[in-house]
Amino acid sequence: DGGITQSPKYLFRKEGQNVTLSCEQNLNHDAMYWYRQDPGQGLRLIYYSQIVNDFQKGDIAEGYSVSREKKESFPLTVTSAQKNPTAFYLCASTNQDYTEAFFGQGTRLTVV
């Protein structure tokens, strides 16, 4: 079945550590996105990529980095510079005409 897979589902990080969240899709979509969601809040865009080897900052990119070396993969690194990384992270991709967004099941990151 086609879809988006995020891993891990739960992730614990010590302060000062970088962690990388995985996002893989087999939908052949060009555009991929990372969102952050805090409890009781909406989705905020971190980074998005419209094509391989290209990506743009979203509204809250500080403290995060991404890469897009393959069409299928869009990993997100939460760096130690991100002061409050505990949140629910969602990866999404859109079809060519941007008529629907498909989401992974999300990764819950907790700083301990």
- Segment near other proteins (CB under 8 A), from 20-28, 70-78, 79-87, 103-111? 103-111
Q: Is 35 in the site for other proteins (CB under 8 A)?
A: yes
Strands 107-111 and 10-13: parallel
Q: Is 33 in the site for other proteins (CB under 8 A)?
A: yes
Task: Supply 23's token pair.
Answer: 């996002």
Q: Is 84 in the site for other proteins (CB under 8 A)?
A: no
Site for other proteins in 55-74 (CB under 8 A): 56, 58
Q: How far apart are CA 19 and CA 22, in angstroms?
A: 10
Q: Taking the C-alpha atoms of 51, 33, 92 and 83 in order, what is their torsion angle to the nearest 10 degrees? A: 150
Q: How many residues bind other proteins (CB under 8 A)?
A: 23
As beta bridge partners, residue 5 has: 24
Q: How far apart are CA 82 and CA 21, in angstroms?
A: 14
CB count within 10 Å of CB 79 equals 15
Q: Is 96 in the site for other proteins (CB under 8 A)?
A: no
Pick between residue 57 and residue 70 the one whose CB is nearest to other proteins: 57
Q: Is 45 in the site for other proteins (CB under 8 A)?
A: yes
- Segment near other proteins (CB under 8 A), from 19-27, 48-56, 61-69, 76-84? 48-56
